[in-house]
Structure 1
């Protein structure tokens, strides 16, 4: 519960700090850079070396990729139908297409299914959400950015993206059976712990409830996809088509129903993909998700 309270508190802190003149206008961008270069890599070096992939956990690993895959089909079609700008489409792909499977996901899953279920949530988050935002997320951001980039330039940005570099290093540690311990582990844990509060504070500093009229439909569409449509599609796939059941299916679908990813919104903001909408997707999506998650939890108790 303390983690959930922290989410709300940090969002409110960000909103309040926006009114403090001592903070320069580019403060959120500076905070975002810290997250990308320090906090995310620290978490990768902690958790990825600990992952032990089994066949039964493949459903969990596929969850984030399926949510993003469906988004890559549905959101551009909606954008074409509603005549959204490329920036808006890219923003929604990075926010609605990627879920908050750790900051919101971990405390919610632990509260509902117990500490043992965190192993499943970790598989949704690390090989799923984390790798997706480090690879596909950068490609999406570059593709929909107003700055034209060659394929070679996009590939370079992916390969030089700090979390991706760290992922490769952490994957090598996993294969070699090496894990951070003692003082290095403690240092990484403290650095990684900065991710949620700094990210949410940054989002709060960019949050504005005076949303422009043209942003309402994209916001409603993006949140509808992330909180309702994506978990519905995975429910159909995992339960009714594949015949799955039990905690692996429940936790995977619950993770698919989480609020938009903070890191995805940070990427959208950094690349100029409708920054106001990106902040709103997280700022409104996080508290709203607590309502929809309760509904999914009750439904899954009956179905799976």
Structure 2
């Protein structure tokens, strides 16, 4: 319950601070960097070495790839059939195809499943959605904006991105059964605990609501995919087809039901793929997701 209070407190604090003229709202960029360069690596270094690997871990990792590829097929062919512009198609793929598995996912999963649940959440995020947005996401953005993706640049971004580096390092620690001293672990845990307040404050500072936008029907379609169709696909595939019923599957499904990924929206905006729509996907997707997540949480109790 305390974690849920923190989620709403820092989210609404960010919204309130937007209205304070003297407050530098662009500070969210600094908060994002702190989360990405310090908090997320700390969480990874603490949890990954403790994970006992098995074939079941492939399910959380694959979920982000499955839902993004499905989003590409869904929006590409629907868009071509209905005569949408390439920029609109690309925007919907990037915003609806990627879940907010870290900034929102980590605190919500911790609130629902405890710190143990973060181990699965990290697997969904790090080798899953994070690598997807850094590779397929960049290619999609470049393709639909009529640019040409620079393979070397993409590779450099992946290899030198701090969370990815720490993920690889943590995997090596796991393989060689090495873990840090208890004092270092305590420090990592404290730094990692800042993800919830900093990330949600950042999200609150970025939320915008454009009532005059012409993108309402596309917003509804994008959020339908992100909040309903994507987790439903994972539910059917993992539970009913592959007969998986572990807690890791429940967490994976919840992660796939999260609001759109902020990084995906930023990528779409950077490449000129309907920036206003991408902003609306974040602005409306986050608060609406709290309602749909409650429904999905009730559903996973029966898995």
TM-score of the aligned structures, taking structure 2 as reference length: 0.80
User: In the alignment, does 2:154 pair up with 1:154?
Assistant: yes
Unaligned runs of 5+ in 2: none
Q: CA deviation at 1:82?
A: 5.2
Match of 1:12, SS? Answer: helix
Q: CA deviation at 1:224?
A: 0.6
Match of 1:230 in 2: 230
Q: CA deviation at 1:140?
A: 4.4
Q: Which moved more, 1:245-254 or 1:111-120?
A: 111-120
Q: CA deviation at 1:120?
A: 4.1
Shift in alpha-carbon separation, 1:187–1:147, aligned structure 2, 3 A: farther
What CA distance in whole angstroms lies between the structure 2 residues aligned with 1:83 and 1:214?
17
Number of aligned residues? 303
Match of 1:67 in 2: 67
Q: Which moved more, 1:236-245 or 1:143-152?
A: 143-152
Unaligned runs of 5+ in 1: none
Alpha-carbon RMSD:
3.3
After superposition, what is the alpha-carbon deviation per residue over 1:86-118, rounded to whole angstroms, capped at 9, x for unaligned?
Answer: 554444334322223345445555665666655
Shift in alpha-carbon separation, 1:230–1:32, aligned structure 2, 3 A: same
Q: CA deviation at 1:267?
A: 4.6
Q: Which moved more, 1:261-270 or 1:49-58?
A: 261-270
Shift in alpha-carbon separation, 1:192–1:152, aligned structure 2, 3 A: same
Q: Which moved more, 1:39-48 or 1:223-232?
A: 39-48
Match of 1:243 in 2: 243
Once the two structures are superposed, the pairs formed by residues 36-115 of structure 1 within 5 Å of their partners are 36-81=36-81, 84=84, 86-106=86-106, 108-109=108-109
Shift in alpha-carbon separation, 1:22–1:64, aligned structure 2, 3 A: same
What CA distance in whole angstroms lies between the structure 2 residues aligned with 1:230 and 1:254?
10
Match of 1:34 in 2: 34
